[in-house]
Amino acid sequence: MVLAMHAPDGFLEPPVAGATALLAMAILGFALRSSTNSYDDRSIPLAGVSAAFVFAAQMVNFPVAAGTTGHLMGGALAAILLGPRMGAIVVAIVVAVQALLFADGGLTALGYNTINMAIVPAFGGWAAFRGFQRLFPRSRTGVTGAASLASGVSVVLGAMAFSLQWLFGASSPVAFDTVFGAVVGVHILIGIGEGLITGLVVAAVLTTRPDVVAGAADLNPSELGSGRHVTARTFAIAGTLVALTVAMVLSQFSAGSPDGLERVAETEGLSSQAEPHPLAGSIFADYATQGIANETASLAIAGASGAILTLVVGWGIADGPRRWAARTTS
């Protein structure tokens, strides 16, 4: 169910398509104006070849499990390598080109596709990266570890954003909590792969050209030189542990999860379908008709997701331009 990405025309209703298009344009417009100032005129060729890199990287087959292959999404990777604003622009351009020229994603769906595949992963991933960096030592390993976790989180954030858009603009009667559980659940798995791959790629770049990694810009040369060599096996083990923890926490919220939600519903006295429902008149009413007992939980999930997204992505957008551009002048 990677249906949260590259959605075609008509997948979400026009009001949501329109609103997300405006939001995406506003955010990217802001990013464009500020990033071209701070990176000076190197931006255009650099962003161009980076966009080509992201495009090519997304086509690489990575072995995931039991013969299946996965692909890199690259939003957080772009942000960690290029900085959040240029990263968001670069991936947004890839998404737009895929829609316009490769029929991969609808033109009227560009608003939410850009938000879910570029804006949220890049800015949200960057914010998560800066957050995780504080848990790690200031070294190459630290940058790699933070990058890994952040990119995994970025994928889940994108899935959350899609679910919220579904809440307001679904074109089919699948309940929000079902969509949230399924899409976010699948993307947790995808996020593990993304985290693993991103970490390894960042580690490789740090070995040869640490000065081109925006996320490592505030490390001094001695810090950059330190850090143990991390193998892919370590990553796999670490990633699995992280995933299990996350899965356990989130499993309480997935649709169809037996005890948690229903117990809440019963105690709150919401389990009777016969009673006039307090939310019946709200915009959620159409979608809450499936499993009315879960409506409070749905609202809570939606509210929490919205809050998390706004905070994390907002922080990423607001995070000022780095002084790293000066370091890469040769």
Any residues with CB less than 8 A from the CB of 166 and at least 6 apart, and which? 12, 174, 176, 179, 180, 183
- The separation between the first and the last C-alpha atoms of the chain, rounded to the nearest angstrom, is 45
Nearest distance from C-beta of residue 251 to another protein, angstroms = 22
Nearest distance from C-beta of residue 85 to another protein, angstroms = 12
65's enclosing H/E stretch is strand 62-65
Distance CA 223, CA 225 (A): 5
Site for another protein in 50-79 (CB under 8 A): 50-53, 55-65, 67, 71-72
Tell me the β-bridge partners of 65. 68
Distance CA 67, CA 25 (A): 39
**What tokens appear for 144 in the block?**
């790699």
Nearest distance from C-beta of residue 306 to another protein, angstroms = 24
Any residues with CB less than 8 A from the CB of 207 and at least 6 apart, and which? 140
Nearest distance from C-beta of residue 263 to another protein, angstroms = 26
Q: Which is nearer to another protein, 293 or 309 (CB)?
A: 293
Distance CA 170, CA 189 (A): 24
Site for another protein in 148-187 (CB under 8 A): 171-174
- CB-neighbour burial class of residue 22 (10 A; exposed 0-12, middle 13-18, buried 19+): exposed
Site for another protein in 82-111 (CB under 8 A): 89-90, 93-94, 97-108
- Tokens 């409070």: give the residue: 296
**What tokens appear for 170 in the block?**
């679904």
Nearest distance from C-beta of residue 305 to another protein, angstroms = 21
Site for another protein in 197-256 (CB under 8 A): 197, 200-205, 207-209, 212, 221, 231-233, 235-236
Cβ atoms within 10 A of the Cβ of 300, count?
14
Size of the site for another protein (CB under 8 A): 85
Site for another protein in 271-300 (CB under 8 A): none
Nearest distance from C-beta of residue 93 to another protein, angstroms = 6
Q: Which is nearer to another protein, 134 or 233 (CB)?
A: 233
User: CB–CB of 123/84 below 8 Å?
Assistant: yes
The span of 1-9, 245-253, 268-276, 307-315 binding another protein (CB under 8 A) equals 1-9
Looking at residue 157, its amino acid is L
- Which one of 23, 30, 38, 46 is in contact with another protein (CB under 8 A)? 46
Does position 329 bind another protein by CB under 8 A? Answer: yes
Q: Which is nearer to another protein, 25 or 304 (CB)?
A: 25
- Which one of 19, 23, 30, 32 is in contact with another protein (CB under 8 A)? 32
Does position 146 bind another protein by CB under 8 A? Answer: no
Nearest distance from C-beta of residue 307 to another protein, angstroms = 28
